Structure 1
Amino acid sequence: MGHREDLLEGAKRCLLAKGFMRTTARDIVKESGTNLASIGYHYGSKDALLAQAYVALVEGMGDAFEGDGGLDETRPGSLERFERVWSNIVGTMREPGSLWRLSMEIVVLGDRLPEVRDHLAAAQREAGRGLVPLLMGGREEDVSDDTADTLGMFYVTLMTGLIAQWTFDPKSAPDGSHLAAGLRQVMDAATGGAP
């Protein structure tokens, strides 16, 4: 690996160990075996590097969202698929030292770190684009911008709310079955059925 990759890997480890605000450039350099000048040269700033490291960590969760391969047994777009995917996602929130606690730190800091906020705002659309085929089937590259901005953002909003609830009070936070039951009630009400 070169310095760029070493820095990214070191920044990921620092984020998981210390969080965003407590990670210093020197921490990253120590963890990556590089030097301070490399951060500016390859990423522009420590915050830009940490933002990219965070996005890389989240992207690495994709396999966990799919679970043990049981998604193939469910019809894309079905309530069963919805429940299974969200159960898998919630499973990642239950793990000790969950990456999602870091997400809440970054959300709260957004207005104080405009460079990070702008980088992560752009990544949100792509996160939605990735969630659509997971839940609805198909390929990520076929998800239109309009679908990413509507259905994808619906899923991202649901994810952000879940992260907040699991961070704040894991004992009362919903799991996939609760979310599927709630969605079923919304669908029943929308089609004229009883809630």
Structure 2
Amino acid sequence: MGHREDLLEGAKKCLVEKGFVRTTARDIVKASGANLASIGYHYGSKDALLTEAFISLMQEIGGAASQDGMRGEGGSLERFQEVWEVFLAHRDEAGPVWSASLEVALSRDRMPDLHAMIAASQGEGRRGLIAMLTGTPEEEISERDERTLGAFYQALLNGLMIGWLFDPKSAASPEELTEGMRMAATAALAPPAE
């Protein structure tokens, strides 16, 4: 690997171990074996490097839930449940990444540039979720779908993972989340009472 890749791997390691706020450029250099000047040369800033590392970690987590080999038909409740099972099966690895994202969300006034960089990547995550849950290829997902269905799935994923971070014992299981989805859809599609 070159310095660019070494820095990215070092930044990912630091994010998992220390989060955004406590990770320094020197921490990344130590974890990567690269030199301090190479951060600016390859990424422009420590925050840009950490953002790319965060996005890479999220893609790795999402990759575990790829639509290949999923048993349920795209858009089915079976697929819905399976996607959440896969995410929760990787919660120990993903936990530090979710914690880091909360760190940025809660301190956006102190880290506006980092917040803006991560916010700009939200569309990619939403498209990935739609693809996983519906089986639709990402290139066929419209901007409207991304902003509606993708935002809905993203809210579910964020809520599920935050629940697990706070208290795994009381957090919803994939089965409970799926049953809640079924109940909500049934109520929403019920004919209006006369």
Distance 1:116 1:162 in 2: 24
Q: Is 1:140 aligned with 2:154?
A: no
The 5 Å alignment of 1:85-100 reads: 85-94=83-92, 98-100=96-98
The 5 Å alignment of 1:49-88 reads: 49-66=49-66, 69=69, 71=70, 73-88=71-86
Distance 2:85 2:109 in 1: 31
Aligned residues: CA RMSD: 2.0
In 2 relative to 1, CA 83–97 (structure 1 residues): closer, same or farther, beyond 3 Å?
closer
- Note if contact 2:95-2:165 (Cα within 8 Å) is conserved in structure 1: no
Aligned residues: 192
- Note if contact 1:104-1:163 (Cα within 8 Å) is conserved in structure 2: no
Q: Which runs of 5+ in 2 are unaligned?
A: none
Deviates more, 1:58-67 or 1:34-43: 58-67
Q: Which runs of 5+ in 1 are unaligned?
A: none
Deviation at 1:104, TM superposition (A): 2.1
Deviation at 1:95, TM superposition (A): 5.1
Deviation at 1:111, TM superposition (A): 2.6
Kindly, what percent of the aligned residue pairs are identical?
A: 51
Letter in 1 for 2:43: Y
Deviation at 1:107, TM superposition (A): 2.1
Deviation at 1:14, TM superposition (A): 1.0
SS of the counterpart of 1:65?
coil
The 5 Å alignment of 1:34-45 reads: 34-45=34-45
The 5 Å alignment of 1:103-118 reads: 103-118=101-116
List per-residue Cα deviations over 1:26-55 (Å, max 9, x = no partner).
Answer: 111111111111111221211111111011
Structure 1 residue ranges, 4+ long, deviating more than 6 angstroms after superposition: none
Task: State TM-score, norm by structure 1.
Answer: 0.90
Deviation at 1:147, TM superposition (A): 0.7
